[in-house]
Structure 1
């Protein structure tokens, strides 16, 4: 069976209008916080709208993960960590609603209060808040966690801490953050940092990666068992302190969440077929259409579902490392994009079933408009006009081939752009004026057979323009180590983006993050225009300016030719045993961290 939830065509517009309304919040303690105005849910809300407050407790979900891990601490730079642990172990003051782009509601925080211009924010800690070992969460734990994460934690935490002027206890259970810059989002970000138990780390180097120490947090789940590289089992804590907090009602219903690890996608799929795994996300449309016909599906013991969402496409494809001298020229990157015969690849891989990613925020109201920049977008970009890459102001769209394997027009354009950048065919190879070959190493993660197939097709196109790339397939640990150090020419890249972009954009695309070891600016973007657009996003006092700033940033990034985009996933394809269920109401963000397994339950 396929369940397709009805499109709520005005849902995003309504949510953005509510959360980006221009009225300022009153400076008094509240149950939640929004970027602008008030959150949609009232102070007496019972549960999140996409949770079932009557869901039964029990059962388990077992998912297949491709790759491996060697650490259980998701809050530091070192180590390869199951990505889900950041969400399972990272309980914070506030929690994000998946049905509103820019709203948070209390979890560890009983209430939140801000200054009239968001120059400070205060959180009142729940008196009952406790760690999984039964000890109380204290303001001392809070302050230690913020300072530690902000100085030696994962790079995602460092930017926020640099904008905190002071952190002080102003009451028995109240902590105040005062900021040193104008940035409306900081009050929200202050509510989204994990709180850790200070005493656990006495005499221990917090920044060192290990599986010997599992961070103690106040979250609903605890790591019950694990085998490095093979599985992680999380058990619901029956003594969890916050079961009656409205944000938590109807969530965390499953007794066990188990992550099983496999070497590649094929092994993971076979494990699902033989019931070693009872839920899976399918990213390959051909496999979804042709291989989910085994007996358990035919009998109805396994249910197939298609879940739509209304969030941006984000960017998936192959990042081009502009730190490499020969890839710093936008004309070279343009040539590599023209050589990528997307229409032929898409037909081969998906039967042309999935549209191409058109820009970073495509599939959303935040996406750049086609054609020349106008209105506030043009005004924001105007000061940088002389330095913008061609297409940013005039309008840019990815090349479209005729779908044939030879892609003659794309190949001809690639030759033209390479020649303009000083690269020509010499004795059958692409070389510069000094006779040096054009070198291109493409780095891939070992588990992704789909991406390897795409690159195999791309290599044939590259050979036609005199490029013989080196393709390196690394295991998860090596892939992370090399991308952390930016040791590649081109690498598989996936960046999920939301309807509430904010400070994290500095990490993704800011100039200061370009050379930060272990950072998330994989392409090495260093653009004064991009930096300015992110700043506009964070300081805008109206919905119109906020949206214009994102659209302008989308133009800078897309026309920058930093990534070769592939196809987008505007739906999630999920298959699970019939006992695993979820509410019929699907939030705007759809299948996103905070939905599965958070609001799912098991019912015989």
Structure 2
């Protein structure tokens, strides 16, 4: 499933694992669920976790790093503006207190073919674009075709969909090349729908628009907000539409409570934090342990105008892998022993003691935080799956549980570096004085590319330890636009990045780790993985006939990825660390799988009066 870090999906733990897809085929349904039955019946009034009487007023100001240079939401190049999800809508929308369950938005209902060879969506006749024109099935087909034509990620994601066509007035049917990929209805429900008539029309100057080109023309969508103003690359303001068609729809009641939604952009994280302290925007998601522990001593925190809070909900239904990812498109990292050696040079325990204030856990799974991650040795159905591809996977997956090296003191570090040096020697390197060189006398060296300076102290730990065994690693921090462009074109030796995983891993694994994506610019196969064993496990995962098989396939894939040493796993915190100016309120009980900010929060005039500043 398409992953969504802040709109995390989950599985109700402790219950027997149900079949993988429970929405009944052959009948029209108001919802799609991957497990069990949808919580909310057809015709429900609103989600339980919203305040249907929330006031509709005020402004919320968000901060972001980088900039933007286009309002075109589907192109793989350029930096799309934040907030376009406020303008454009999807066929279905998720419930934040259920696991893998989506309800109708632009689509009033859906029907899955009895043999799972197709899904049909029936467009809500009330849905309309900002100009009053109806949202049509033709818009859906056009949006799908253009996304697949212009965006390699979309083409990869929709690989098992053979065509989209209007099959009746207001109905669009997607046909599948397989009948065992039961996640496809959900994937298509996440499709953002664009107005064909607008994109094929002309702008205010009479020039014909082109969906294949970047644009800074004000976009037109069907969503609750429209773009009000912007300063290219610096700030965007969206305003809530008084004539929004979906304001009384069950999934939208109690949401979109702000009159204005503003995004302020920054090029430097330190400057951005100072701007937050100066009340230039309202919400700060902290990504640095030291700052969270030591930098909130300014007056607004002391007097209660700024509140610090942890939100575990944002991670309740998602997993993550993050770390230093070597690019195997470079010859330097094709040898697995070189990649493994890097992990022995990373001293997480020292960083935890000196830099992280004990806030983080070391990651040891590509699905860290999820109950179906791999551990120990394979057994049961997972072992059966691994045996089916035994000749394609590392033999160690059957005999050695994956563990990260443990450091923390000088003795352990010396042992780890000795192991790293042995691995590198096996790979053909040798020490020449203080330099580790290959057979031609060239020193092993590479560059670690970072998106800004935040991770520099962490990378410095790896660099310093590698230097002790003769490896020359350098750190280069660049601004977000340059970083994004280099990552898209795979122009790097090593980057610090990762993947978020949902409770229902599926088709997205192809463009995370699949051979088909290795040469596709803009895919998320950052490591350059092209491995037959990994491919085979991904296909078994996607074709899983029930939940137990899906979980077993995930464990098998996780185990094989780990044993190939495709990255140096780093660390994570299973909470959102958030600071906010205290001018907002939220429902008493937040949903299980999201903090819901700002979508279900609202501006509280009484609180705002006490904080002063922005209105």
Q: 1:284, CA displacement in angstroms? A: 1.6
Q: 1:403, CA displacement in angstroms? A: 3.9
Structure-2 change in CA distance of 1:50 and 1:285 (3 Å)? farther
Structure-2 change in CA distance of 1:461 and 1:561 (3 Å)? same
Q: Does 1:46 align with 2:51?
A: no
Aligned to 1:29: 28
Distance in 2 of aligned mates of 1:406 and 1:396: 18
165, 174, 178: which is aligned to 2:175? Answer: 178
Does the 8 A contact of 1:101 with 1:500 survive in 2?
A: no
Q: Does 1:141 align with 2:139?
A: yes
Q: 1:244, CA displacement in angstroms? A: 1.2
SS of equivalent to 2:397: coil
Aligned to 1:603: 604
Structure-2 change in CA distance of 1:14 and 1:135 (3 Å)? farther
Q: Does 1:219 align with 2:217?
A: no
Distance in 1 of aligned mates of 2:97 and 2:130: 29
373, 388, 402: which is aligned to 1:367? Answer: 373
Distance in 1 of aligned mates of 2:153 and 2:590: 29
Q: Does 1:424 align with 2:423?
A: no
Does the 8 A contact of 1:24 with 1:116 survive in 2?
A: no
Distance in 2 of aligned mates of 1:24 and 1:541: 14
Does the 8 A contact of 1:129 with 1:218 survive in 2?
A: yes
Q: 1:226, CA displacement in angstroms? A: 1.3
* Mapping 1:21-170, distance limit 5 Å: 25-82=24-81, 84-85=82-83, 87-152=85-150, 154-170=151-167
Distance in 2 of aligned mates of 1:534 and 1:96: 25
Q: Does 1:465 align with 2:469?
A: yes
* Mapping 1:321-470, distance limit 5 Å: 321-369=327-375, 371-389=376-394, 391-394=396-399, 395-404=401-410, 407-446=413-452, 449-470=453-474
SS of equivalent to 2:389: helix
Q: With structure 2 as the length reference, what TM-score do the two structures score? A: 0.91
Aligned to 1:208: 213
Q: Indicate the RMSD between aligned Cα atoms, in angstroms.
A: 2.0
* Mapping 1:541-560, distance limit 5 Å: 541-560=545-564
Q: With structure 1 as the length reference, what TM-score do the two structures score? A: 0.92
Q: How many residue pairs end up in the alignment?
A: 585
Distance in 2 of aligned mates of 1:277 and 1:127: 38
1:222-277 deviation per Cα after TM superposition (whole angstroms, max 9, x unaligned): 22111122111121122111111111111111111211111222111111111111
Distance in 1 of aligned mates of 2:381 and 2:459: 39
Aligned to 1:496: 500
Structure-2 change in CA distance of 1:483 and 1:68 (3 Å)? same
SS of equivalent to 1:350: coil
SS of equivalent to 1:479: helix
* Gaps in structure 2 of 5+ consecutive residues: 1-9, 201-207, 606-615
Does the 8 A contact of 1:344 with 1:405 survive in 2?
A: no
SS of equivalent to 1:65: strand
SS of equivalent to 1:208: coil
Q: 1:93, CA displacement in angstroms? A: 0.9
Q: 1:160, CA displacement in angstroms? A: 4.3
Distance in 2 of aligned mates of 1:48 and 1:80: 33
Q: 1:26, CA displacement in angstroms? A: 4.4
Q: 1:494, CA displacement in angstroms? A: 2.8
Distance in 1 of aligned mates of 2:123 and 2:426: 61
Does the 8 A contact of 1:47 with 1:246 survive in 2?
A: yes
Aligned to 1:299: 303
Does the 8 A contact of 1:312 with 1:360 survive in 2?
A: no
